[in-house]
Amino acid sequence: MLLEVSELSVSYGEREIVRNVNISLDEGEVLAIVGESGSGKTTVIRAVLGCLPHEGRVSGGKIFFEDKNLLENTPAEWSRLCGTKITMVFQDSGSILDPIARIGDQFVEYIREHSALTKKEAVKAAEDMLRKMHLPNTENIMKSYPFELSGGMRQRVGVAMAMFFKPRLLLADEPTSALDVTTQAQVVKEMMEICQQDQTAIIIVTHNIGVAAYMSDKLIVMQNGEIVESGRTDEIIARPQSAYTRELLDAVPQVGGKRYVS
């Protein structure tokens, strides 16, 4: 088992936000966590990555990755793990890029921080990775500042950086919600292609159960900090057991009278 989360609870101050969450994920599997805003889904993946906000803390449970309890990691161990074996794609990659540094400088710095590549080797490797995300004219993109790129291009850069070291686990927090529908589909497809090539496991957080149905093998539905339903995605979509899951499915737009979730 690549990732095993057991009875995870997370608190902010004295208030428990997430209660008794269980997750199991094998190599190459895709898990989607769906639910409305405030359901606790982003808190779960931030706990896995060890990046809860200052007031947040894991108040119960265990998180095992490659048979090691991440909650026992030292800062040095987290530094070696994050960005290489476990990486994250944020809702808006532009928000985590330095606005006054060129894309190429940031990408190369990231590569060299976690590898022994020379600057020349890192530049070539970064350009190759951007091409995998179907970005045109990668030399120009490397010379560009984040504000000079469209939202879709910035998100592709974020995915390229997250996937560079072929991580064992990719955490994706609403990775397409800031994009238009056409760009959403393209970015999801490109991300899935790379992950399948590298056998990377994914946990994607989304409010869009249609995206979850397309991407995932497993599905977790969260409400008010708790799991209300979990299982194989196709089974939950076909036969939802929870009233809340049925509400989420009913909210998906219909195309020609057919619910568009697959």
24 located within any domain? yes
pLDDT at 62 over 80: yes
pLDDT of residue 262: 47
pLDDT in tens, 171-214: 999 887 767 777 777 777 888 888 888 899 999 998 888 888 88
17 located within any domain? yes
- pLDDT band of residue 261 (cuts 50, 70, 90) is low
Q: What is the average pLDDT value for the chain, to the nearest integer?
A: 90
114 located within any domain? no
pLDDT of residue 257: 46
76 located within any domain? yes
pLDDT of residue 119: 97
pLDDT over 90, % of the chain: 68
224 located within any domain? yes
37 located within any domain? yes
155 located within any domain? no
The domain total for the chain is 1
pLDDT of residue 103: 97
85 located within any domain? yes
pLDDT in tens, 16-38: 999 999 999 999 999 999 999 89
- pLDDT band of residue 241 (cuts 50, 70, 90) is very high
Domain that holds residue 30: 3-93+167-259
**Which string of DSSP letters, residue by residue, matches the chain?**
--EEEEEEEEEETTEEEEEEEEEEE-TT-EEEEE--TTSSHHHHHHHHHT---TTEEEEEEEEEETTEEGGG--HHHHHHHBTTTEEEE-S-GGGGS-TTS-HHHHHHHHHHHTS---HHHHHHHHHHHHHHTT-S-HHHHHHS-GGGS-HHHHHHHHHHHHHTT--SEEEEESTTTTS-HHHHHHHHHHHHHHHHHHT-EEEEEES-HHHHHHH-SEEEEEETTEEEEEEEHHHHHHS--SHHHHHHHHTSPEETTEE---
pLDDT of residue 213: 87
pLDDT at 255 over 70: no
Q: What is the CATH number of the domain that holds 226?
A: 3.40.50.300
pLDDT in tens, 46-60: 999 999 988 899 999
More confident residue, 192 or 138: 138
pLDDT at 72 over 90: yes
User: Of 64-78, 164-178, 203-217, where does the model show the most confidence?
Assistant: 64-78
